[in-house]
A and B are shown apart, each in its own frame.
Chain A
Amino acid sequence: DVKVTQSSRYLVKRTGEKVFLECVQDMDHENMFWYRQDPGLGLRLIYFSYDVKMKEKGDIPEGYSVSREKKERFSLILESASTNQTSMYLCASSWGTEAYYGYTFGSGTRLTVV
């Protein structure tokens, strides 16, 4: 069964900490995405990557960075966590960048910044 695995289901971090969220996929997909999901705001794209070491900003990149050193792994970095970054973070992968390829999501990481 194909999978997107996010390293943590729940995280609690302190304001100002550097936070790493890890995502690994086993489908040999070239494209990977990071979203956050908040009540009433739906899914918002933070960053995506269409190849190793390649990245593109999504709709809300501020306060975040990403790393894609290997095809199967896409990391989201919160450089200095703030309380407004408390959210559900979702990683996804796909054969293509376009939404019509369909995306496979991980189970999500619920991050709380205190």
Chain B
Amino acid sequence: DAKTTQPPSMDCAEGRAANLPCNHSTISGNEYVYWYRQIHSQGPQYIIHGLKNNETNEMASLIITEDRKSSTLILPHATLRDTAVYYCIAVSNAGGTSYGKLTFGQGTILTVHP
């Protein structure tokens, strides 16, 4: 799976949009971009994933550049409960290769301030 690079930390004011970047310059055509987050002392929580197109769900939006070398997770109206470590990972759909494999890097610590 492609390596991903994220800033170690970011701050955001409550009610504002949080934009979390992720670089994945070596991503291959069959690799999805997945975002999970982990609130302190809890299990990881799936947020969103995408392959080529931008995606939106009730939690967030995912913007993937046309060349797929980077992406941005957008939390449109951040709340204090969004304070967490956010992980961006690239996951292959090649089959038989990624069972159970969730290689989280250091992620981005997002702190939402009042």
Q: State the CA gap A88–B43 with chains docked (Å).
A: 9
Tell me what chain A mostly uses at the interface: helix, strand, loop, or mixed.
Answer: strand
8 Å CB contact of B43 from A48, A58, A97, A108: A108
User: Do A99 and B98 form a contact, CB below 8 Å, given A42-B103, A43-B104?
Assistant: yes
- Residues of A contacting B101 in the complex (Cβ-Cβ under 8 angstroms): 45, 99
- Residues of A contacting B45 in the complex (Cβ-Cβ under 8 angstroms): 105
8 Å CB contact of B49 from A58, A92, A102, A107: A102
Nearest chain-A residue to B95 (Cβ)?
A98
Are B100 and A33 in contact, with the CB atoms below 8 A? yes
Encoded as 1 (CB less than 8 Å from any A CB) or 0, chain B from 89 to 107 comes to 0011101111111111100
- Residues of B contacting A110 in the complex (Cβ-Cβ under 8 angstroms): 41
Are B103 and A102 in contact, with the CB atoms below 8 A? no
Taking each of A45, A56, A103, which has the highest tally of chain B beta carbons within 10 Å of its own beta carbon?
A: A103
Q: State the CA gap A97–B95 with chains docked (Å).
A: 9
- Residues of B contacting A107 in the complex (Cβ-Cβ under 8 angstroms): 42-43
Nearest chain-A residue to B47 (Cβ)?
A102
B86 at interface, CB cutoff 8 A: no
Encoded as 1 (CB less than 8 Å from any A CB) or 0, chain B from 65 to 90 comes to 00000000000000000000000000
Q: State the CA gap A31–B12 with chains docked (Å).
A: 37
Taking each of A90, A98, A104, A107, which has the highest tally of chain B beta carbons within 10 Å of its own beta carbon?
A: A98
Nearest chain-A residue to B31 (Cβ)?
A100
Query: A residues within 8 Å of B by Cβ?
Result: 4, 33, 35, 42-43, 45, 48, 56, 58, 88, 90-92, 97-100, 102-108, 110
Query: B residues within 8 Å of A by Cβ?
Result: 32, 34, 41-46, 49, 91-93, 95-105
- 16 CB-based A-B contacts, threshold 8 Å: A42-B103, A42-B104, A45-B101, A98-B91, A99-B91, A99-B98, A99-B99, A99-B102, A100-B32, A100-B34, A100-B98, A102-B34, A105-B45, A105-B46, A106-B43, A110-B41
